[in-house]
Amino acid sequence: MKIEVLGSGCSKCRKTEKMISDVVRKLGVEAEIVHVTDLNQIVDRGVMMTPAVFIDGRKVMEGKMPTMAQIQKWFEE
């Protein structure tokens, strides 16, 4: 599983990445977590607001910080 956090590296983006990492570790999910900061890549993916999260190429969130419960639901689907 590949999880991408798209954003400039702002505090919300970093916190989102940390929260995802914590949930992945807690649930024992095997995943590669990548932080994409390149603005061209972000725009090419159709992201208008950050942070945005993609799991295996599918956008699951954009423009806000998720809660821990929301992150856990991503892995239950």
Q: What is the pTM of this model?
A: 0.92
What's the whole-number average pLDDT of the chain?
95
Query: Do residues 10 and 19 touch, judged by C-beta distance below 8 A?
Result: no
The C-alpha atoms of residue 14 and residue 8 are separated, in whole angstroms, by: 9
Per the structure, how many domains does the chain have? 1
For residue 25, give its domain range. 2-76
29-59 pLDDT per residue, tens: 999 999 999 999 999 999 999 999 999 999 9
What is the CATH classification number for the domain harbouring 19?
3.40.30.10
**Percent of the chain scored above 90 by pLDDT?**
92
Active site residues: 10, 13
CA distance 53 to 47: 10
The yes-or-no verdict on residue 77 having pLDDT over 80 is: no
Say which amino acid occupies 55.
I
14 confidence band (pLDDT: 50, 70, 90) = very high
Structure tokens at 65: 């910080």
* Beta-bridge mates of residue 32: 2
